[in-house]
A and B are shown apart, each in its own frame.
Chain A
Amino acid sequence: MRYIDHHAHMVSRTTDDYHQMALTGCVAVTEPAFWPGWDRLSAAGFEDYFRHITDFEPKRAAKYGIQHYCWLCLNPKEGEDRELAREVLARIPRYLECPTVLGLGEIGVNRVTRNEVETFHDHVALALEHNQLILIHTPHLEDKWKGTRVIIEALLQRSELKPGRVLIDHAEEHTIEMILENGFWTGLTLYPQTKVSLSRAADMIEMYGSERICVASACDWGASLPLAVPEFVLEMRRRGHSEALIDKVVYQNTVEFLGQSPNFRLQG
């Protein structure tokens, strides 16, 4: 088994988690910039976080033979504060020069407010200006359908944006079709109790196919499993799916999407 976890908040995880991920075949992780569970006081706080995920975390992962890449942004949970968003966005371009940055992410909306949508637009504009890939967080629970719809409509307004360079993450049964039929990539993120389970993720692969779909753990500081992807592999095997299909959704598709960034270079 080999896999890439394209959505893992490793700053919240222990070295033990890296060890277990390495043992189960993880070759690379990509870490989207996100909310730490509390609001930061200033743009300087974000800058330290960017240093953390562009410099310290790749070194920590490398000790376990795992390549670490990241995405930068001011996340949707803090996107309501427009002044803070402007300050953080102004600091992002120089970090885009870092060799392990893949693009802007995870941008998106949380409660689908006017300010959040404005902040989302600013991030998309920055990504287009710097020719970056985009990783999108869609809201959870009752806000998911609405947030996904609003995000897709906003993206479709931009004729210069190529949907194949955007991954709209955290898809569920009621949003996956609208994401895929508009040409975007999507992610199924696995959670132990809330959101998508291993078995429902396998159901979605069966029903919607394996094109432009990547599976990830979305492990962070909350209830989540850093080994969710290998658990998903076992679930797929339990149903008798082929190793080729499994490899496609936990490895090859992810390589294809991320490979559009010149910074993504799988070694070995």
Chain B
Amino acid sequence: MERYSGTCPLTRRQIADEYFIESRNRLLEIAAFLDRLERAAEGGSERDFRVQAFQEALQLLCDGEEARVQRVQMLLSDPSTQLKAQLDQKSATGAHDHWRGEEL
């Protein structure tokens, strides 16, 4: 991120003043989502690649490296350029299954 240092006109203190409360709220939403998954009703416990990608993304946020948004975006993306033979579904699901075919 060094190449972008100083591009936000606010100081660190001002960024915290402006964005802490709303970011805190989002953090709690994520915590609640993870807790909700653990409280889930019986059934449907099979591997879900979306949740798996989500959990990997959370790890990535804590690794101390830069460009977090770009790296989360790529973690959630299909990284190939291979064309699909035909339309499988109309809408995207939000995460790419990087683990398809892997025994987990």
Binding site for B on A (CB under 8 A): 77, 80, 110-117, 139-146, 149-150, 153, 172-174, 199-200, 203, 206-207, 238-241
B2 at the interface (CB under 8 A from A): no
> In the bound complex, how far is the Cα of B77 from the Cα of A150, in angstroms?
14
| Smallest CB separation, A213 vs chain B (Å) | 14
A-B contacts, 21 of them at CB < 8 A, read A110-B87, A111-B88, A111-B89, A111-B90, A112-B78, A112-B84, A113-B83, A113-B84, A140-B92, A141-B93, A141-B95, A142-B78, A142-B92, A142-B96, A143-B77, A146-B77, A150-B81, A173-B70, A174-B73, A199-B19, A240-B10
* Least CB separation from B22: chain A residue: A199
The 4 A-B pairs of least Cβ separation, nearest first, read A141-B92, A174-B73, A145-B77, A142-B96
Give how many B residues have a beta carbon under 8 Å from the other chain's beta carbons: 30
Partner of A238, one of B7, B18, B74, B93: B18
- A239 and B10 contact, Cβ closer than 8 Å, known pairs A145-B74, A207-B4: yes
Contact with A along B61-104 (1 / 0, CB 8 A): 00000000110011011111101111111101111100000000
A174 touches B70 (CB 8 A): yes
B85 touches A114 (CB 8 A): yes
Q: Is the interface of A mostly helix, strand, loop or mixed?
A: helix
- A115 and B8 contact, Cβ closer than 8 Å, known pairs A141-B92, A173-B73, A174-B74: no
> In the bound complex, how far is the Cα of B68 from the Cα of A173, in angstroms?
10
B83 touches A150 (CB 8 A): yes
B9 at the interface (CB under 8 A from A): yes
> In the bound complex, how far is the Cα of B74 from the Cα of A139, in angstroms?
14
- A141 and B76 contact, Cβ closer than 8 Å, known pairs A206-B7, A238-B18: yes
A142 touches B93 (CB 8 A): yes
* Least CB separation from A235: chain B residue: B18
| Smallest CB separation, B12 vs chain A (Å) | 13
Partner of B78, one of A116, A143, A239: A143
A146 touches B7 (CB 8 A): no
| Smallest CB separation, A167 vs chain B (Å) | 21
> In the bound complex, how far is the Cα of B101 from the Cα of A237, in angstroms?
49
Partner of A146, one of B80, B85, B88: B80
| Smallest CB separation, B36 vs chain A (Å) | 17
Partner of B73, one of A117, A139, A145, A203: A145
A142 touches B95 (CB 8 A): yes
Contact with A along B37-65 (1 / 0, CB 8 A): 00000000000000000000000000000
| Smallest CB separation, A126 vs chain B (Å) | 21
| Smallest CB separation, B77 vs chain A (Å) | 4
Q: Which residues of B contact A206 (CB under 8 A)?
A: 4, 7-9
- A203 and B8 contact, Cβ closer than 8 Å, known pairs A115-B87, A145-B73: yes
* Least CB separation from A153: chain B residue: B81
> In the bound complex, how far is the Cα of B64 from the Cα of A230, in angstroms?
35
B94 touches A111 (CB 8 A): no
B9 touches A240 (CB 8 A): yes
